[in-house]
Amino acid sequence: MKHPRTQELLEYLDEQRAVLRAAFEAVPAAQRDCVPATGRWSVAGNIEHLSIVETRVSGRISVLIAEARAAGLGVELSSEPVLPTLDAGRVLNRSTALSAPEPLLPTGLSADAAWVALEDAGQKVRDVLHANDGLAIGTLSLPHPIFGPLSAYHWIAFVGAHEARHAAQIREIVQVG
């Protein structure tokens, strides 16, 4: 049986992926690679960006946890929910445009290739959770350039909220197009 925090985050990731998939599917396949306006990302660009971010998050958290495990990381003592402690509304708030740094920008993958990359990246995030189930990863943190220090749990929750943010962006593309 999974630790309650692991289970909570796995379910949240699955819920947000379903929201993202629905937004993706709402755009006709022929339009997913089209840029809706200058300075905006296509559906494919949004999905590729998510795949890049999730790959980087899983990599950074994996290294952080591996170092902590080597130093004797203990077991998770709390079973309190993680999600209420993340300001997801701040992640979801699209009233302020955010600019991704160069390494996180889409490179031009097609929508189908971007979705495959996202599935792979999302699995890596889930693998980190599975591999470290029951460990006190909430005691570990890394800085986020906008949201400040986030625990490993919060980084994983951020992945789900970030997908929801881009699902909203994709729905805006449908309204624009």
- Per-residue pLDDT band for 141 (boundaries 50, 70, 90) equals very high
Q: Measured between alpha carbons, how far is 119 from 98 in angstroms, rounded to an integer?
A: 24
For residue range 96-129, list pLDDT tens digits in order: 777 888 999 999 999 999 999 999 999 999 999 9
Q: Which two tokens stand for residue 34?
A: 């089209």
Alpha helices in the chain (DSSP H): 4-26, 43-70, 88-92, 111-131, 152-176
Assign residue 98 a region: left if phi > 0, alpha if psi is -120 to 50, beta otherwise?
A: beta
For residue range 15-33, list pLDDT tens digits in order: 999 999 999 999 999 999 9
Placement of tokens 């998770």 in the chain: 76
**Stretch 69-80: mean pLDDT:** 97
Q: Quick check: 172 pLDDT over 70?
A: yes
Q: Measured between alpha carbons, how far is 161 from 36 in angstroms, rounded to an integer?
A: 23
For residue range 32-49, list pLDDT tens digits in order: 999 988 888 999 999 999
Residue 75's DSSP bridge partners are: 135
pTM over 0.85: yes
DSSP secondary structure code for residue 37 in this structure: S
What is the pLDDT at residue 37? 82
What domains, with CATH codes, occur in the chain?
Answer: 4-176 (1.20.120.450)
**Stretch 150-166: mean pLDDT:** 96
